[in-house]
Chain A
Amino acid sequence: MTFLQFALNNVKRNTRVYLAYFLSSVFTIMVFFSFAVNLFHPVIVGKRGGAIEQILGQTEVAILVFSFFFVLISVNAFLKVRSKEFGILMILGMSNKQLRRLVFLENMVIGCLAIIVGITIGLVFSKLFLMLLSSILSYGSLSFYFPYKAILLTTGFFILIFLGISALTPLLIRASNIVTLLKGTKKANREIKFSIMQSMTAVLLLGTGYFMAVSPQLYDINPLLDKIALFIENLPYAEIFLTASVVIGTYLFFSQLSIFVLHRLKRNRSFYFYKTNMLWISDLNYRIRDNTRMLFLVTIFSTVAFTAITGVYALYSVVKDEALKENPFALTYTSYSGNENEQQHIKTIDEMLESHGFHYEKYQSKVIKQVSKDSQVIHVIKQSDYNKRASALGLERVVLDKGQALLVPVYVRFDPKRDKTLSQKNIALDNGEINLEVVGVAPKVIFYSGLFRNLVVVNDETFNKITDIQEKYHSYSYDIPDWLNTIEVTEKLRDELGVGEYGQYFWSTRIEGYQIENQNKKLFLYVGFFLGAIFFLGASSFLYFRLYTDLNEEKRKYIGLSKLGLSFNEMKKVASIQIAVLFFVPYILASIHTYFAINVLQTVLYSSVFNQFLTVIGVFLILNIIYYVYVRSRYISYLKQFMVQ
C-alpha cells in the first residue's frame, strides 16, 4: 500500500460518512456549471452587459462563496471527528507534512470526483437548462454548443476552492499534542451552563429583528407606533442591523435559550421523571450543546433557501397581478392640446386593434393641469369622466357637490403618510377662486401608475368653470380583455407611433411592462430556485453528518440502557423525539425567519404573497418529513442490532 493508496482507501471505505457531503458538492458544481453554460452561450454573450448576464453572473459568485464556506465547514467537521485516527497515525510516525498531504489528497480525491461527476451531469442536462433559459427569455431556442469555457471555469474555480481549503487544514487540525488527539472527540460531559441574560438577549434580538421586519405595516394603529416605524425606516443600514440581530439571536437561541427551556422542563419533576422523559430531555441537553453550531448553520442555510425560493416564487406569481394594478387599462394614449395628429393616432390604434381581432372598450377623459401660486401642480378631471373609468374598473361611482372634491392616488401603493397630496383637506383652484372641500380618496389608480400627480375629481359644472388652464390633455384608455396577446400589435403600433413626442403625445401599454417584468421574474425564479436548493441540500448534509457521527456514541449508550431494561419501543421513542428536535426545530425557526423576511418583501409589492409562503414552507415540510422518516428508520434499525432483547 503506497501513501496514495492509503488516502484513496480512506475515502473509498468511508463513503457513508462522505456521501451527503459528496452529493451536495456534486449538485452545487452541477448548478454552477449549468449557469456557466448559459452565461457563455454565444447568444447571451452577444448581448453583453444585459440583465441576464448580471443576474447569472452574480448567482455564480454567490454559489462560489457558498461553496467555499460549505466545503470549509464540512472539512472542519470531518477532521474533528477523525482526531483519534490522526493521533494514531502521528504516534506511528506520520509527520505534520504527511498529515497535511493525506488530508489534501483525500480532499482532492473527493473534490475532483465531485467536479467530474458534477460537470458530467451538467453536460447531460445542459440542453435542458438551455431550453429553460430560452423559454424564459423567449429567445426561440438556444442551440447546444460544446461549453469548453464553462468546463474550464467550473474546474478552475472549484479546484481553487478545494486547494484553498486544503491549504487551510493546518489551521483546522491543531496537531501539536498527540496525547489530546488520541483522546479524540470524547469530552467528558461537563455541566451544561446557560445564562439567563443571554437567553433573554436571544429573545430580545429575535424580537427586534422581527419587529423591524414588520414595522412598515404597523402604520395607522397607534401614533407612537408610527413614530417608531418611521424611525426604523430612516435608520441607516437597517437591513444589516436587522439581519445581524436575527443571526445572532438564532445562535443564542440554540446555545442558550434552548438549554434554558430544557432546564425549565427538568424542574417540572412530575414531567421530568415520567417514563422516558428524563432520558430524552437530559440527553437532548448534551446533544444541543454539542450541536449548537450545526443547528445554527442548518437554520441559517434553511432560512436562506426558504426565503430565496419563496421570494422568487412570490415575485413571479404576482407579476400579472402587479401589472394589472400598475396599468388598470391595457393601453393609454395621452395627447397634449397642441397635438394635431390626435384623431389620426386614435384612428390608427382603433384600426390596428380591430384588424388584429381585438375587442376593446375606449374611455376618453379630459384632464386640466393647473399650477398654483406656490407652484404646486394640480390635475383636474370631471366627475362624469371619472365615473366612466370607475365603472370600467369596478369602482364605486361618485356624486360630488359643486364645492366638493375627490382625490385620486397617482401610485398604486398610496400611503397618506408619504404621499402628502392625499392628506389635503381643501383644494384651491384658479388661484383661490374656486375652493373645494375634500370628501375622500379614490381607492385606485385610474390611468396608470405615475400619470397625473395630484389628481382631483370635481363636479362637471365646476370643471367647466375653470379658467386657469395650463394644459388640457385628452387621454384615451383602452380596456382590452385579451391584453396578454397584444404584444404583436403593440410592436406594430410602436413602429407607427414611436414612443411619443415631447409636448405632443405619449402612450403606454400594460403588456410591455408585463413582458419585461415577467422575463426578469422568471429569470429570478430560475436562479433563485437553484440557489435555494443548493442551500437546502447543504443544510441537509450537515444534519446527516452530525447524526452519523453521533451514532457511535448513541450505540454505546443504548447497549448499556438495554441491559438495564430499556425496551426497543422505548428506545425508538427516545431516539425519534431527539432526531425530530434536531430536524424540525431548525425548520420551524427558519420558517418563522422566512415569514418575517417575506414581510420585508411585502412592502414593495401590492399583492399579498402569504399563500406563496405557505406553499413553499409546505413543500419543504414534506421534504423534511420524508428525510426525517428515512433517517430515523435507518438510525433505529442500526441501533436495534445492538439492543439486548
Chain B
Amino acid sequence: MEILKLNHITKVYGDKVPHSALKDINLGIEQGEFVGVMGPSGSGKTTLLNVISTIDPPTSGEVLINGENPYQLDRAKLALFRRRKLGFVFQDFNLIDTLTIGENIVLPLTLDGQKVSFMDKKLKEVAARLNIEDILTKRTYEVSGGQAQRTAIARAIIHSPLLLLADEPTGNLDSKAAKDVMELFESINRDTGVTTVMVTHDPLSASYCHRVIFIKDGRFFNEIHRGNSRQKFYQKIIDVLSLLGGEADDLSSIRFK
C-alpha cells in the first residue's frame, strides 16, 4: 500500500521573476519503505520535503498521505494531521531551548493533550531505544550534537507517526555521530516499520536507505535500489552523483568507513 503519493507536483516561487523549484514530480512510497532524496545544491530537495511536510503547499499537483490530501484540510485539522501522522528531524535539531531533553521528546504528546502517565510510559520506551535515558533531565545546551539529534529522533517517533521526515539529519554531526544516527534510522525503520523519507547530501547516509531518488533542477533524475550490499549501494550512489555533476563540494562530505 502506498503511504505517500505525489502526483505532478510543481512549485513556483516569486511573482515578478518566477522560479520553478519543482517541476512535475511524481513519486510513490510504500508502507515501511526507507527512501533517500539526493541532488545537488538548489535542486529542490528541501522544497520537495517541505511540500511533503505539509508546510509549503505545491503550486499544482497533489500530495496524498495515506490516501488523504493534507492541503485540503483546514488549518486546525492540518495541525492535528501533522501532530499525529508526521514526525520531523532537522539538520539543526530544532529543539526548544527552554525545555529539558525529556520534555522536548514528549512535546508532541503534550500538544495532543495526552495523559502524563502515558507520556512517561512512551518516554521510557523511546529513550531506551535511543539510549538517551541518562540525559533526560539535561537542558539542550548541555548535550552533544549526536545526543541532540537522537533527542530529535525520539521526539519524531514518540507518537508513532505514519511518516518520518528527515532533512539532512547528519549534516551537523561528526562521522561517528552520523553513523550512530543512521543506524538508528535503519533500526527504527526495521523494527517499527515507520515509512521514512530523508533528504541528504551525504552518500554514506543515503546508503542506509532502501531506495534513493535523485532530483536535479527540480526534476526527477534517477532512482536506484539497494541490493544486499550497502557497500555496493554506496558505490552506485557515488556513480549517479558524479553523473549528476553539480558542484564539486557536494561530494566533500564523503566519509569512508
Contact = CB atoms under 8 A, between A and B. Distances in A.
Q: Do A and B come from one complex?
A: yes
A90 B79 contact: yes
Interface stretch (B32-40, B105-113, B244-252): B105-113
Interface stretch (A3-11, A242-250, A459-467): A3-11
A10 B108 contact: no
A95 B106 CA distance: 17
A626 interface: no
Given A13-B98, A179-B55, A95 B79 contact: yes
Interface string A76-107: 00000000010011111111111000000000
Interface stretch (B82-90, B173-181, B210-218, B229-237): B82-90
Interface in B66-123: 75-76, 79-84, 86, 88, 94, 96-99, 103, 106-108, 110-113, 116, 119
B103 A96 contact: no
Nearest to B105: A1
Contact of B98 (A10, A93, A98, A182): A10
Given A95-B80, A97-B76, A178 B55 contact: yes
B31 interface: no
Contact of A1 (B56, B80, B84, B119): B119
B10 interface: no
Given A3-B111, A3-B113, A93 B103 contact: no
B147 interface: no
B103 A6 contact: yes
B83 A9 contact: no
A91 B96 contact: no
Contacts of A376: none
B142 to A, nearest CB: 13
Contacts of B172: none
A222 interface: no
Contact of A6 (B75, B80, B107): B107
B53 interface: yes
Contacts of B80: 93, 95
B55 A92 contact: no
Interface residues of A, number: 25
Contact of A85 (B75, B82, B96): B96
A343 interface: no
Contacts of B88: 91-92
Interface in B103-155: 103, 106-108, 110-113, 116, 119, 139, 155
Contact of B111 (A10, A85, A98, A179): A98
Contact of A89 (B50, B55, B96, B139): B96
A645 interface: no
- Give the secondary structure class of B's interface: helix
B82 to A, nearest CB: 4
A2 interface: yes
A14 interface: yes
Contact of B82 (A2, A91, A96): A91
A387 B205 CA distance: 107
Interface string A547-587: 00000000000000000000000000000000000000000
Interface string A1-35: 11101100110111000000000000000000000
B111 A1 contact: no
Given A3-B111, A89-B96, A94 B103 contact: no
A97 B80 CA distance: 11
A9 B99 contact: yes
A92 B108 contact: yes
A93 B79 contact: yes
- Chain B's interface size range is 20 to 34
A99 to B, nearest CB: 9
Nearest to B106: A1
A98 B112 CA distance: 10
A55 B4 CA distance: 69
Contacts of B107: 1, 6, 89, 92
Interface string B27-60: 0000000000000000000000010010110000
Nearest to B83: A93
Contacts of B55: 90-91, 178-179
Given A1-B119, A91-B53, A92-B111, A9 B103 contact: yes
A94 B98 contact: no
Contacts of A10: 98
Contacts of B94: 88, 91, 182
A98 B80 CA distance: 11
A455 to B, nearest CB: 76
A103 to B, nearest CB: 14
Given A9-B98, A9-B99, A14-B98, A93 B82 contact: yes
B138 to A, nearest CB: 13
B116 A2 contact: yes
Contact of B79 (A6, A88, A94): A94
B81 A6 contact: no
A565 to B, nearest CB: 26
A95 B50 CA distance: 18
A114 B96 CA distance: 25
A182 B53 CA distance: 13
A121 to B, nearest CB: 27
Contact of B84 (A9, A14, A93, A96): A93
A98 B55 CA distance: 17
B110 A6 contact: yes
A10 B112 CA distance: 18
Contact of B86 (A93, A97, A178): A93
A9 B86 CA distance: 25
Contacts of B96: 85, 88-89
Contacts of B75: 95-96
A130 to B, nearest CB: 42
Nearest to B161: A93
A1 to B, nearest CB: 5
19 contacts: A1-B99, A1-B106, A2-B110, A2-B116, A6-B107, A6-B110, A9-B98, A14-B98, A88-B96, A90-B55, A91-B53, A91-B82, A92-B107, A93-B81, A93-B84, A95-B76, A95-B80, A96-B76, A182-B94
Interface of B: 50, 53, 55-56, 75-76, 79-84, 86, 88, 94, 96-99, 103, 106-108, 110-113, 116, 119, 139, 155
Given A93-B80, A95-B75, A97-B76, 8 more contacts: A1-B99, A1-B107, A3-B110, A9-B98, A9-B99, A85-B97, A90-B79, A95-B79
Q: Which 8 A-B pairs have the closest CB atoms?
A: A93-B83, A95-B79, A93-B82, A178-B55, A13-B98, A88-B94, A10-B98, A1-B103
Interface of A: 1-3, 5-6, 9-10, 12-14, 85, 88-98, 178-179, 182
